[in-house]
Structure 1
């Protein structure tokens, strides 16, 4: 098991870091200023000019679609090779989009690459790969505990050459962006089938009649415009039968193929965010004086800095191990490690960011620093792609299974 970075990864890490230094970090203030200006002009849910300016620069630098392992359409990187790049991008919450490597587009593009027809790829995948449109993933529902996806009640019913779609979804991330043109929708096609064969996934255009965005949801007060997390109602929405992905009853199969790499991406971005928070904590601690000495000289601060470094390193190594196992043996063989990182990384990030906020005092709670925004994002990922409890249950079952008496 070797977690050393390959020469190509080292080269790309250097290139992504240089791009961040030149184009992203210097523009963090501009990003928020432009969002505020859009809000004042009544255009909060409009694409930001900054992002659109930086995308061609990233593409020209060959730092585009790095997440996609398919060498013809992406960079051809393994999970282990891409993971450290995701970490660097994760240091700024909006940076991934600049490289066309942001969720939920990454997962949706992977689904279309693996399971889409030639027509799907032509109409939706190609413009997504070019960064011309955005997409959304409609799975979670407000009326049921969607941590158990078998609870989903939304219906996908075959009627001749069409599917009729009805239901209400929320936390449909990305649907607030006017560039969002397509959703992957998960619902029940056959409620009488076996438990994990009832669900299917189907492509639903945002402009299909019967699709109604009800409201943006906030995360601890942040609406994440222009990306957004929307509650959407689907009322007698009709799409061609050819929009089904892989076939009826294959929703869980698609979800497993989609969520494995996505969890690696999320966790590595969180590690980048935690690294940034630790740097900010150290800088603040070295420059602020309380009770006659710098905050950095306070023993409690030193203990937290040390513990933060330990937690980050542990999370990174576990995530790289999960990525390595996925590459070597496939998602199924890495299911315990994938579940573990999904518990470890968000909790680690929340703790490190919380300590950084504490060192910043009142400033850590307001817009003068990005830490409160960091925390809201990290806390969300204790739910997104499955809550902690579901992943802990999965880990426990695997461990208990190792000790079950073997039957003859």
Structure 2
């Protein structure tokens, strides 16, 4: 195997594939990047068996071949080389020679036959979605994925396509996040994708309108970005019936400027440092929302102008849960729907139905 490639292109390909290499596998071969030189390009693959990432890099292939090389050392070598052409050649004694200008490295490679093959996925049935929209959908929901391993299904995000709508849904027992986009597709699917997979997909996606093709098998999902393919296993089990968690009616509706509310909660949370509750209290009055917090550090009072329909209320929240929601909403005006101090609060945008968030209040001891 011999090929020549621009350093920056090779480095970019390595960084993409390394996102799938966790270093936690019991198989030493999965510490490596699988490299195949073929025709006018080099294919790089990283995998931890749960997630596999394949990306293609332009290269001048002089001699075809395949090797597996340790991901960390390969990435460090390429990163520190001059910004010039890199020549990679397989030589005797299971060694890969990497040369660039006056630098020459000889690195032992692994047997590529031991590297597991990627799952086969039929790409006939596809959902197509612009990269920027999918990236935004993941960002708008992934913060609500459960970190607790006792309910593995909640460590994933529901990917639900029906009635020409794509819903991404995440919940952790304290809050629920739903992001919806309309897609021109009759394809119906309901699968649960590991949250960590979608976070890595989000890092690879660009904020552009070019299309991602998404395909499913019984156990896997494939994201095809032309030069890069990401294959992930799906989580087993049935996701929570999230619609049953959403209140069907409310007694109080509050319209408020999102940024003013976010700023007020951020300042109030500076005093909300007792334990891990990050407790803040909201008091809804006729034209104002009063935000307060008391702790051993001191106390704070914030006032935000609102438009309200219904009766006033006093309710408490973990400030972090509210801020996670507000930071991921892009609209100027948000709507809060509440019924009592012990029932969930719904937060959504005023002008669009693409976001819905549910946050449980903290029960106050009177």
Q: Under TM normalisation by the shorter chain, which class is it?
A: under 0.3
Higher strand share: 2
Q: TM-score, with normalisation over the residues of structure 1?
A: 0.21
Q: TM-score, with normalisation over the residues of structure 2?
A: 0.23
Higher-Rg member (1/2): 2
Higher helix share: 1
